[in-house]
């Protein structure tokens, strides 16, 4: 897509976005609420017309060939778009019929997909009675009825517990294994790392970074070391000591007072070792120590110099995306 | 997914949807809406109770006095009100379609439908088809209750014609309510709006009482009110009397409303954000 722009009145939800996704890969679009991710997906899936710019999906133009395009895409929205009053099987059968499968084909496809997404037992129950994870799986199944070449996953695991999230990830990985091209939007670095091969980071309707996962991770400082002293009172002295150490190139240490932990971004294994050594030298008893991937906040901090969703000088905070705000 | 991507080597997809496709899509969506009723039988309460409650209320509360004015008694009023209520039935069902449609929109299901290669009108046609089924059920119940309180069915073909006329006029009104359902923010406002528009139209008509006793300004309003035409046409068809003028007026309104509102509703639906 080229120079995609979407305005809502004065609000610019997308302020010129360029994006290329290679066939058979997963492109992760990472960004906070209001970044324009959902607007982007809605334009690419023909639900919204762009104000300017053009985009092709699987060779079809989103504005001029919407009907053809709708045949080759699948969409799983942020808010599970299944009919809650209909049983799971009926949901899939309905989509099959709307995709011009014969009655027999639609029945077979519904059975097959329920089986595949482990929903056969719940096939006759209204989708409204499903758990969150089951509903997302049904939603994914519904997107797969037409064997799409391109699948849009708009925050597929937002609001799910970690176990259910893993289930959904496994399903997405299987789909990718079958050669589906996926555009995934997410707020979680971890999700992007699990699923995507390439990443585009968006903020306020603009692309602020793009590249391979490893490349971006290196740019945003790789890992964060989370150190929790057994005695919370030691927190600040320890932070001060680490700051004074003068490990070259160490990003500023932050104190997470709420969880009584220190967050130390480290760029290399050498730095990691040096920090651990320094902590040991302070003779502090530790309750826990762990490394984690940078959070979305940290990614943003290092890429843009401001926190996600934090106001810039002139623009109002979070005004960028109409849709997500309304839905939130 | 970009200019550089080679389109997948598959059959070229046709942009046009054949008529059979439209019918298949509408059929599938009708099935969905019927399953809703099976899942949630309470949604049929209005269609079942409305004709019972209104018939009994009007016949026993106003029947005596208005009947006297008509030159008979309660008996005479039954002959007057039953065709009137039939005209009203279409209206009330039409109002419900807007509310239900709006609720649909506020769930993610509509996004899914709109991302499928179906004619966008199919979704609306299916709604109307199901609403017509509900209307026929309500009408049947109305006739049963009507007969129980003393309505004489003398003219079966006329009765069926009146049912048909109410149905086509009702489906014309549904386009208005579908438009409201698409444009308004939530189901409550759709309902409130529908109520505000319908109440004066219903009572300022010849549905419940003959307009001759109304003040002049109201009488002229009643005369041009399409609901009066429909009620009078239904009356003429079911119990006798002049029909032609009101029949043509009703059909004229039906065509005019549909011609204007159906494209508006489909357009609004197509371009909804």
Distance CA A44, CA A74 (A): 11
Tell me: do A209 and A228 sit in the same domain.
no
Q: Is A47 on the interface with B (CB under 8 A)?
A: yes
Q: Which residue has the higher pLDDT, B95 or A108?
A: A108
Q: In this complex, which of A56, A58, A81 lies closest to B109 when CB atoms are compared?
A: A81
What percent of chain B clears pLDDT 70, i.e. is strictly above it? 94
Site of tokens 């005479």: B76
Q: Is A126 on the interface with B (CB under 8 A)?
A: yes
In a domain, residue B2? The reply is no
Distance CA A271, CA A286 (A): 19
Tell me: do A281 and A246 sit in the same domain.
yes
pLDDT band at A1 (very low <50, low <70, confident <90, very high): very low
Q: In this complex, which of B12, B27, B115 lies closest to A46 when CB atoms are compared?
A: B115
Average pLDDT, chain A: 79
Distance CA A221, CA A280 (A): 23
In A, which residues are within 8 Å of B185 by CB distance?
none
Mean local confidence (pLDDT), A203-221: 76
Q: Which residues contact B250 (CB under 8 A, 6 or more apart)?
A: B165, B169, B226, B229, B230, B233
The ipTM assigned to this model is 0.81
Residue pair B200/B64 in contact by the 8 Å Cβ criterion:
no
DSSP A306: S
DSSP B118: S
Mean local confidence (pLDDT), B164-177: 92
Could you tell me the end-to-end alpha-carbon distance of chain B, in angstroms, rounded to an integer? 23
The tokens for B241 are: 């009397």
Q: Which residue has the higher pLDDT, B271 or A296?
A: B271
Residue pair A179/A213 in contact by the 8 Å Cβ criterion:
no
* Of the candidate ranges A2-16, A276-290, B117-131, B248-262, the one whose mean pLDDT is the lowest: A2-16
Q: Which residue has the higher pLDDT, A309 or B165?
A: B165
In a domain, residue B5? The reply is no
Q: Is the pLDDT of residue A11 over 70?
A: no
Going from the C-alpha of A23 to that of each of A57, A146, A179, B4, B101, the distances in angstroms are 10, 18, 8, 10, 38
pLDDT band at A248 (very low <50, low <70, confident <90, very high): low
* Of the candidate ranges A57-66, A71-80, A245-254, B36-45, the one whose mean pLDDT is the lowest: A245-254
In a domain, residue A315? The reply is no
Site of tokens 């039953």: B82
Distance CA A157, CA A155 (A): 6
Q: Is A68 on the interface with B (CB under 8 A)?
A: yes
Q: Which residue of A has its CA nearest to B20?
A: A100
pLDDT band at B87 (very low <50, low <70, confident <90, very high): confident
Site of tokens 């150190």: A227
In a domain, residue B8? The reply is no
Q: Is A155 left (phi over 0), alpha (psi -120 to 50) or beta?
A: left
Element (H, E) at A199: strand A198-203
pLDDT band at B9 (very low <50, low <70, confident <90, very high): very low
Q: In this complex, which of B8, B24, B29 lies closest to A58 when CB atoms are compared?
A: B8
Tell me: do A231 and A110 sit in the same domain.
no
Residue pair A184/A25 in contact by the 8 Å Cβ criterion:
no
Q: What is the pLDDT of residues B46-84, one digit of tens each?
A: 888 889 999 999 999 888 888 888 878 888 899 999 999
Tell me: do A181 and A228 sit in the same domain.
no
Mean local confidence (pLDDT), A163-177: 86
In a domain, residue B13? The reply is no
In a domain, residue A317? The reply is no
Tell me: do A213 and A284 sit in the same domain.
no
pLDDT band at B200 (very low <50, low <70, confident <90, very high): confident
Contacting A with CB below 8 Å, chain B residues are 1-8, 10, 12-17, 21, 24-25, 27-29, 31-32, 35-36, 39-40, 107-109, 111-118, 271, 273
pLDDT band at A94 (very low <50, low <70, confident <90, very high): very high
Strand partners, A74: A151
Q: What is the pLDDT of residues A296-318, one digit of tens each?
A: 666 666 776 665 555 444 333 33
The count of domains in chain B is: 1
The tokens for A34 are: 């209001």
Q: Is the pLDDT of residue A103 over 50?
A: yes
Q: In this complex, which of A49, A56, A90 lies closest to B35 when CB atoms are compared?
A: A90
Whole-number pLDDT of residue B7? 42
Tell me: do A159 and A264 sit in the same domain.
no
Q: Measure B18 CA to nearest chain A CA, in Å.
A: 11
Tell me: do A201 and A124 sit in the same domain.
yes
pLDDT band at A175 (very low <50, low <70, confident <90, very high): confident
pLDDT band at B255 (very low <50, low <70, confident <90, very high): very high
Going from the C-alpha of B46 to that of each of A85, B60, B94, B101, B136, the distances in angstroms are 19, 20, 12, 16, 13
Q: In this complex, which of A49, A57, A68 lies closest to B1 when CB atoms are compared?
A: A57
DSSP A214: H
Q: Is A228 left (phi over 0), alpha (psi -120 to 50) or beta?
A: beta
Whole-number pLDDT of residue A285? 85
Tell me: do A197 and A279 sit in the same domain.
no
In a domain, residue A308? The reply is no
Domain final residue, candidates A186, A218, A250: A218
What percent of chain A clears pLDDT 70, i.e. is strictly above it? 81
Most confident of A92-96, A190-194, A240-244, A308-312: A92-96
Whole-number pLDDT of residue A4? 52
Tell me: do A259 and A202 sit in the same domain.
no
Residue pair B138/B47 in contact by the 8 Å Cβ criterion:
yes
In B, which residues are within 8 Å of A86 by CB distance?
32, 35-36, 39
Q: In this complex, which of B8, B27, B117 lies closest to A67 when CB atoms are compared?
A: B117
pLDDT band at B2 (very low <50, low <70, confident <90, very high): very low
Q: Which residues contact A258 (CB under 8 A, 6 or more apart)?
A: none
Strand partners, A12: A7
User: At A241, which CATH number?
Assistant: 3.30.70.100
3-state class (DSSP) for residue B154: coil
In a domain, residue B107? The reply is yes
pLDDT band at A327 (very low <50, low <70, confident <90, very high): very low
Q: What is the pLDDT of residues A32-41, one digit of tens each?
A: 887 788 888 8
In a domain, residue A94? The reply is yes
In B, which residues are within 8 Å of A68 by CB distance?
12-15, 117
DSSP A250: P
Average pLDDT, chain B: 85
Distance CA A37, CA A321 (A): 8
Tell me: do A227 and A182 sit in the same domain.
no
Mean local confidence (pLDDT), A244-272: 75
Domain final residue, candidates A180, A197, A218: A218
Q: Is the pLDDT of residue A323 over 50?
A: no
Whole-number pLDDT of residue B154? 87
Q: Is the pLDDT of residue B3 over 70?
A: no
Give the E-state strand segments of A119-260 in sequence order.
Answer: 150-154, 181-186, 198-203, 206-212, 223-229, 254-256
Whole-number pLDDT of residue A124? 93
Contact B1 A19 (CB under 8 A): yes
Distance CA B23, CA A275 (A): 69
Site of tokens 């927190």: A235
In a domain, residue B51? The reply is yes
Chain A interface, best mutation among B27, B116, B126, by max A CB count within 10 A = B116
Site of tokens 């003219």: B155
User: At A152, which CATH number?
Assistant: 3.40.50.300
Q: What is the pLDDT of residues B138-155, one digit of tens each?
A: 999 999 999 999 898 888
Distance CA A78, CA A96 (A): 22
pLDDT band at A88 (very low <50, low <70, confident <90, very high): very high
Tell me: do A161 and A264 sit in the same domain.
no
Domain final residue, candidates A189, A218, A247: A218
* Of the candidate ranges A23-32, A298-307, B132-141, B166-175, the one whose mean pLDDT is the lowest: A298-307
Whole-number pLDDT of residue B8? 43
Strand partners, A52: A5
Contact B118 A98 (CB under 8 A): yes
| Structural domain that includes position B150 | 20-271
Residue pair A241/A282 in contact by the 8 Å Cβ criterion:
yes
Whole-number pLDDT of residue B75? 85
In a domain, residue B9? The reply is no
The torsion angles phi and psi of A231, rounded to 5 degrees, stand at -105, 110
| Structural domain that includes position A177 | 2-218
The count of domains in chain A is: 2
Mean local confidence (pLDDT), B20-45: 88
Going from the C-alpha of B185 to that of each of A84, A98, B175, B182, B191, the distances in angstroms are 21, 27, 17, 8, 11
Tell me: do A235 and A257 sit in the same domain.
yes
Q: What is the edge-to-edge ordering of all strands in the sheet holding A2-8? A: A11-17, A2-8, A52-54
Whole-number pLDDT of residue A45? 87
Closest to B146 in 3D by CA, of B203, B75, B234, B213: B75
């Amino acid at each position: 897509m080229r120079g995609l722009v979407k305005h809502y009145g004065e609000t610019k939800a997308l302020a010129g976005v360029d994006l290329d996704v290679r066939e058979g890969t997963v492109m992760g679009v990472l960004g906070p609420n209001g970044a324009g991710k959902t607007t982007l997906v809605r334009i690419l899936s023909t639900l919204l017309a762009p104000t300017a710019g053009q985009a092709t999906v699987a060779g079809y133009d989103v504005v001029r060939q919407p009907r053809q395009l709708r045949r080759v895409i699948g969409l799983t929205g942020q808010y599970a778009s299944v009919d809650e009053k209909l049983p799971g099987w009926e949901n899939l059968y309905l989509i099959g019929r709307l995709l011009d499968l014969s009655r027999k084909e639609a029945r077979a496809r519904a059975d097959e997909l329920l089986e595949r997404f482990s929903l056969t037992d719940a096939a006759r129950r209204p989708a409204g009675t499903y758990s969150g994870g089951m509903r997302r799986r049904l939603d994914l199944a519904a997107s797969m009825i037409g064997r799409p070449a391109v699948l849009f996953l708009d925050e597929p695991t937002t609001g799910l517990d970690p176990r259910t999230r893993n289930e959904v990830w496994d399903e997405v990985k299987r789909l990718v294994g079958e050669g589906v091209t996926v555009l995934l939007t997410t707020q979680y670095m971890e999700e992007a790392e699990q699923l995507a091969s390439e990443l585009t980071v968006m903020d306020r309707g603009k692309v602020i970074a793009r590249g391979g996962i490893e490349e971006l991770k290196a740019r945003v400082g790789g890992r964060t070391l989370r150190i929790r002293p057994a005695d919370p009172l030691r927190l600040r002295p320890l932070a001060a000591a680490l700051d004074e150490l003068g490990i070259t190139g160490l990003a500023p240490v932050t104190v997470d007072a709420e969880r009584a932990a220190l967050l130390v971004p480290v760029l290399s294994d050498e730095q990691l070792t040096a920090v651990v050594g320094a902590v040991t030298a302070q003779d502090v008893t530790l309750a826990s120590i762990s490394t984690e991937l940078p959070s979305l906040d940290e990614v943003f901090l290092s890429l843009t110099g401001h926190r996600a969703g934090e106001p810039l000088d002139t623009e109002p905070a979070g005004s960028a995306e109409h849709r997500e705000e309304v839905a939130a | 997914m970009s200019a550089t991507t080679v389109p997948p080597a598959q059959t070229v997809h046709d942009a046009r949807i054949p008529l059979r496709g439209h019918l298949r899509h509408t059929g599938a969506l009708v099935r969905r809406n019927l399953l809703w009723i099976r899942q949630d039988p309470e949604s049929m309460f209005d269609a079942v109770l409305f004709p019972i409650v209104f018939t009994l209320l009007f016949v026993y509360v106003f029947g005596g006095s208005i009947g006297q004015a008509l030159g008979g008694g309660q008996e005479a009023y039954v002959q007057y009100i039953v065709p009137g209520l039939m005209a009203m039935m279409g209206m009330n069902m039409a109002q419900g379609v807007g509310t239900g449609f709006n609720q649909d929109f506020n769930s993610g299901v509509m996004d899914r439908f709109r991302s499928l290669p179906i004619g966008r009108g199919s979704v609306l046609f299916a709604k109307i088809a199901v609403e017509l089924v509900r209307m026929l059920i309500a009408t049947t119940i109305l006739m049963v209750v009507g007969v129980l309180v003393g309505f004489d069915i003398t003219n079966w073909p006329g009765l069926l014609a009146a049912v048909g006329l109410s149905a086509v006029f009702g489906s014309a009104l549904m386009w208005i309510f579908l438009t409201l359902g698409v444009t308004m923010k939530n189901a409550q406002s759709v309902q409130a709006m529908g109520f505000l528009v319908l109440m004066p139209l219903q009572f300022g008509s010849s549905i419940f009482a003959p307009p001759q006793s109304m003040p002049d300004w109201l009488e002229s309003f009643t005369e041009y009110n399409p609901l009066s035409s429909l009620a009078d046409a239904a009356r003429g068809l079911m119990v006798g009397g002049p029909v032609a003028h009101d029949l043509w007026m009703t059909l004229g309104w039906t065509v005019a409303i549909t011609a204007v509102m159906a494209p508006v509703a489909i357009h609004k639906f197509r371009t909804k954000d």
